[in-house]
Amino acid sequence: MTHEFAHPDEADGVHPIRHQVVFDFGTSHSGFARATRDFPDSLTDKLSAGAGSSSSPLKKLNIDYYIKYKTSWPGGQEPYAKTRTALLYDLQGRLVAWGNEAHHKYLMMHRGKQKNHIYIDRFKLFLDDSRKHEDPAMNQLKTLGKDIDDVIADFLGPLASQVGEYCQFLDTEDWNPYEVRWCLTVPAMWSDAAKAKMRQAMQKAGLIRSAKTTTRLEFCSEPLAGLLFETFSAQSRSVIKADDPVVVVDMGGGTVDLTVMCGSGSGFKELVQGLGASCGSTMLDSAFLKMFRDVIGSKDYDNVIKKSPQLENKLRNQWERRKKAFTGAESEFRVAIQVPSAMYNVCQHDDGVVPGTGGAELEDGELYLSRDTMVMLYEPIVDQIHGLVLSMLNACQSKGINVAHILCVGGFSQSKYLVGELRHRLMEKDAAKIVVSLNGGAAVLLGAPIYACRPELLLKQVARVSYGAQVSVPYRPERHGLRESLGDRLFQAPDGLRVKGVFSPVIRKGQALTPGIVATKKYRAESFTDTIIRASWFVSKLESPIFTDTSDCKCIGVLEVQVTPSQDYANRDTVEVTISMSPSGLMFHAKSLSTNKPVDCRIEFHD
Ligand SMILES: Nc1ncnc2c1ncn2[C@@H]1O[C@H](COP(=O)(O)OP(=O)(O)OP(=O)(O)O)[C@@H](O)[C@H]1O
Ligand SMILES: [Mg+2]
């Protein structure tokens, strides 16, 4: 749980802003990018030069000149913009290694040493509340007092040290993280609680002064970052015109996130509500491991892994290479996964084809995967992604939006089989609109600094859920229904019959929101002696829910606003709360109407 306090932190101002740095914290890989000091101005010049005709391609930028990022990471075998999102601890919870090195060290470790270490990766999945993620390593870390934000902080700390070294190398100046304006990329489908956890992790890593009040941390949605890179980078081959409606499909390791955006005057506006699901490439890894476990026999597999947990990482590693090599084009596709001997010895199958695996064959200590095996593993994920794209195209069609491009970014977009299947399944006219980023996994990292330097480029976003507070209001039969149906929701107050547990909407699902203040609400103290008003905040999948205790609603946290006690009920204080929305999430500010002064106002987001 965490708090979002209302007043910006004046202490931030003690440190001048000398760097603009983006972290792309990903499920499988993470990296950083730093914008040069002249980037914001150059961006403004380019944007104003390109703001002419709506039907001409937008002016491109030489991103490599303005955005610096690291491609050679400790423990990395080949140059890549990101390092592995992985950590290696000892049994006291002390960090032994991070990134590629954590993975490499763990894989190379002698079996006897493994049990004295805890290796964890894919921990971003713990912040995705649309699915439950389990990992025995996290359970072990919990017993050492570490929560998910501590683990993320343990990763962001060394990542930031790399930024420091990089900046010192480029600028030969001292480095202070408080002199950085940070931007973190986040899946567009993430909840406010997940973003709050990331703030907490940034503070725990010593990169911002306060998770609650800092003005030095922004979030950029991952699909928007991908779109900005493809629109403005000279490295991209996408030809996006200023007013082209684009469906961006960010296919990453964990999530697949879809957003529809269109250029409009000085920036971009979102056209329909975004969609997303946890069907990224690591779900394919899980499908493979599940099949492999079934081949060995789940009990025996678990026994071996319990003794040598590192073997699962070795299997993942082999699979990763096989997965990337699969294009679907070779009908004779046959690749081997070496079965660890401890598993081969107990395997319930003899050599030959293993039933239920699409023709995978065990042979001399190896499991050979066929084309049909790969297709079988891909199938549910392709179904899900295809379903998301279709839903998005239908939503656009019903709004009369003529989609110009379906832009695929993210590492998983580099799967030729996946993109080929999407092309094959979509109608010809839609298939022809698919454009795949050449930069795949790096597009989000390199596009985010564009947003970080010019957040005003985002003109409108569409609310994915309705937000509202739980309030009590005077009873209105036409809205709340018959008295008999209300049970104990109905109660007698000094000023008449009231209904409690009512959803008072502040943002409606589907509403187009301009970043900044989206609503102003007045709340009155229930009793004149009150010093605090508490209102539970809810999200709902419906546009206009009536009550908060129905299954479509979920409590996201409790807003607490300070009120001034008064002498009697009639003069009890009223506070005016302004609610702002941006990719960073919901923000609240409040003032008392009896004193006309700002008052303390915070929300505690639930897990
Ligand atoms: N050719 C390929 N075929 C299948 N998967 C691929 C291919 N190339 C990369 N990937 C997968 O893409 C993922 C990495 O993509 P990316 O870097 O965009 O993800 P991420 O940023 O770590 O995840 P997320 O953004 O979802 O948190 C890895 O799971 C990797 O295995
Ligand atoms: Mg990503």
Domain borders along the chain are 2-231, 234-280+379-461, 282-377, 463-473+503-605
Mean pLDDT is lowest, of 203-207, 306-310, 480-484, for 306-310
Q: For residue 85, give the ligand 1 atom closest to its CA.
A: 22
Predicted pLDDT at 548: 95
Mean pLDDT of 158-178: 85
Alpha helices in 432-505 (DSSP H): 442-453, 477-480, 483-486
Topology annotation, domain 463-473+503-605? Substrate Binding Domain Of DNAk; Chain A, domain 1 (2.60.34)
Pairing state between β 553-562 and 532-540: antiparallel
Q: What's the one-letter identity of residue 77?
A: Q
Q: What is the pLDDT of residue 56?
A: 61
> Over pLDDT 70: what percentage of the chain?
96
> Over 70: is that where the pLDDT of 9 sits?
no
Q: How far is the CA of 437 from the centre of ligand 2 (A)?
A: 13
Confidence grade of residue 6 (pLDDT, cut at 50, 70, 90): very low
Measure Cα distances from 323 to 129, 381, 543 in Å.
27, 14, 41
For 392-404, b where at least 16 C-beta lie within 10 A, e where not — what string? bbebbeeeebebb
Percent pLDDT > 90 in the chain is: 68
Least confident among 42-46, 179-183, 359-363, 370-374:
42-46
* Residue to mutate (ligand 1; options 123, 412, 439; most atoms within 8 A of CB): 412
pLDDT over 80 at 211, yes or no: yes
**Predicted local distance difference test score (pLDDT) of residue 54:** 59
Report the Cα 116 to chain-centroid distance in Å.
Answer: 32
- Taking the CA of residue 256 as reference, the ligand 1 atom at the shortest distance is 26
When the pLDDT of each residue in the chain is averaged and rounded to a whole number, the result is 91
SS3 396: helix
Is the model's pLDDT at 61 over the cut of 90?
A: no
Residue 3 has pLDDT above 60, yes or no: no
Q: Which CATH number fits domain 2-231: 3.30.420.40, 3.30.470.30, 3.30.230.10, 3.40.50.1100?
A: 3.30.420.40
Ligand found nearest the CA of 254: 1
With a cut of 90, say whether residue 285 has pLDDT above it: yes
Cα gap 576→259, rounded to integer Å: 33
CA distance 243 to 272: 15
Contact 437, 226 (CB under 8 A): yes
Largest CA distance in the chain: 87
- Given a contact cutoff of 8 angstroms between Cβ atoms, the answer to whether 241 and 55 are in contact is yes
Average pLDDT over residues 555-574: 90
| Closest to 189 in 3D by CA, of 552, 411, 589, 462 | 462
Contact 539, 503 (CB under 8 A): no
Token digits for 87? 């950590």
3-state secondary structure 517-532: EEEEEEEECCCCCCCE
What ranges make up the beta strands (E) of 79-176? 83-84, 86-90, 95-98, 117-121
Q: Among 123, 281, 286, which is best to mutate for testing ligand 1, by the most ligand atoms less than 8 A from CB?
A: 281
Q: Which run of H or of E encompasses 391?
A: helix 371-398
One DSSP character per residue, 167-210 reads: HHHHH-S---GGGEEEEEEE-TT--HHHHHHHHHHHHHTTSSS-
pLDDT of res. 7: 44
**What homologous superfamily is domain 234-280+379-461 in, according to CATH?**
ATPase, nucleotide binding domain (3.30.420.40)
Residue 542 has pLDDT above 60, yes or no: yes
Ligand nearest to the CA of 413: 1
pLDDT at 5: 33
CA dist 154 and 202 (Å) reads 10
23 and 159 Cβ atoms separated by less than 8 Å: yes
Is it the case that residue 59 has pLDDT exceeding 80? Answer: no
Long-range contact set of residues 111-118: C-beta below 8 Å, sequence gap at least 24: 111/308, 111/310, 114/308, 114/309, 114/310, 116/90, 116/91, 117/88, 117/89, 117/90, 117/91, 118/88, 118/89, 118/90, 118/91, 118/93
Asked whether 557 and 606 are in contact (CB, 8 A), the reply is yes
Does 463-473+503-605 match 234-280+379-461 at the fold level? no
* Number of Cβ within a 10 Å radius of residue 347: 18
Q: What are phi and psi of 377, to 5 degrees?
A: -70, -40
The number of the ligand nearest the C-alpha atom of 440 reads: 1
Question: How many Å apart are CA 136 and CA 118, to the nearest integer?
Answer: 9
Is the CB of residue 231 below 6 angstroms from any atom belonging to ligand 1?
no
* Distance from C-alpha of 182 to C-alpha of 192, rounded to nearest angstrom: 18
- Calpha distance 272→283 (Å, rounded): 27
Q: Please identify, by atom number, the ligand 1 atom nearest to the C-alpha of residue 410.
A: 18
The pLDDT value given to residue 377:
98
* 253 within ligand 1 shell (Cβ under 6 A): yes
**Per residue in 374-425, pLDDT tens?**
999 999 999 999 999 999 999 999 999 999 999 999 999 999 999 999 999 9
Model confidence at 1: pLDDT above 60: no
Average pLDDT over residues 178-195: 92
Residue nearest to ligand 1 atom 14, measured at CA: 411
CA atoms within 13 A on the CB side of 587: 20
Question: What span, in angstroms and rounded, lies between the C-alpha atoms of 293 and 347?
Answer: 10
